[in-house]
Amino acid sequence: MPGPFASFATKKLGNVSPLESEPKELARFMPNNLIPDATGLLQVQFSTENANLLVVEITVHNQSVISYGPSNTNMTRIFQGVIPKEALFNGKWSIIKGRVVSGSGSFYVRSVVMWWQGW
C-alpha cells in the first residue's frame, strides 16, 4: 500500500505591502488528498525593516502557527510552524493570514509554503 506522502503548495508573493494590525490574507491553499487528523507544516519567508519590539503572528484558519518577536533586528529569514489538525480541511481553503501584534517596523512576507500529509 503506497503512502502516505508529503504534499505541498507554494506561493511567492513578490512585492507586497507590510503587515499591519488588521489580519491580512497572505495565501490560500486547498489540500485535496489530506490524511484525516494529520498535522501540517507552514513555512514563511519574511524580511523586517526598522523593527522596534516588533511582534507578528501568522495563522491558519485563525489558529496561531508562527509567532515572531519581540525583535529589534532587521533581517530576512525562513520560519516554520506546525499547523494543528484542527486548521486543515480536505477540499476546503486553508487561509493563511498575518498581522502585527505590537511594536513598530515593517514585516514583509515574501513566500509561503504549506506542507501536509496526503495519499
Amino acid type, 90: N
Domain ranges for the chain, please list them: 5-118
Q: What is the pLDDT of residues 45-87, one digit of tens each?
A: 999 999 999 999 999 999 999 999 999 999 999 999 999 999 9
CA distances from 104 to 6, 18, 96, 117 (A): 37, 11, 22, 37
* DSSP single-letter state for residue 87: G
CATH topology of domain 5-118: Jelly Rolls (2.60.120)
Q: What is the pLDDT of residues 106-116, one digit of tens each?
A: 999 999 999 99
pLDDT confidence bin for 15, thresholds 50/70/90: low
- In whole angstroms, what is the distance from residue 85 CA to residue 12 CA? 24
Place of cell 505590537: 102
